[in-house]
Amino acid sequence: MSTDVNVKLDALPGLDSDALPLEVKDLHVEFRTRNGIARAVNGVSFSLRAGETRAILGESGCGKSVTAQAIMGILDSPPGFVTGGEIRYRGVDLLKLREAQRRKVRANRIAMIFQDALSALNPVFTVGFQLAELFRKHRGMSRAASKARAVELLDLVKIPAAKQRVNEYPHQFSGGMRQRVMIAMALALDPEVLIADEPTTALDVTVQAQIMTLLAELQRERNMGLLLITHDMGVVADVADHISVMYAGRVIEEAPVRDIYESPSHPYTKGLLESIPRLDLKGQELSAIKGLPPLLTDIPKGCAFNPRCRYVQDACRQDPVPTLYQVAPVRSSACHFWKEVKADV
The tens digit of pLDDT for each residue in 59-102 reads: 988 999 999 999 999 999 899 999 999 999 999 999 999 998 89
pLDDT digits (tens, 9 = 90+) for 12-39: 777 888 999 999 999 999 999 998 999 9
Q: Give CA–CA dist 15/89, Å, rounded.
A: 8
Q: Are strands 22-33 and 36-48 parallel, antiparallel or unpaired?
A: antiparallel
pLDDT of residue 165: 96
Q: Give the domain ranges of the chain.
A: 241-278+286-345
Asked if the model's pLDDT at residue 270 lies above 80, the reply is yes
Q: What residues contact residue 343 under an 8 Å CB cut-off, 6+ apart?
A: none
- Which residues neighbour 300 within 8 Å (Cβ) at sequence distance 6 or greater? 294, 306, 307, 317
Q: What are phi and psi of 228, to 5 degrees?
A: -105, 115
At 10 the pLDDT is 58
pLDDT range class, residue 281, cuts 50, 70, 90:
low
pTM, full prediction: 0.91
Say if residues 82 and 186 touch (Cβ distance below 8 Å).
no
**Which pLDDT score, from 0 to 100, does residue 284 have?**
74
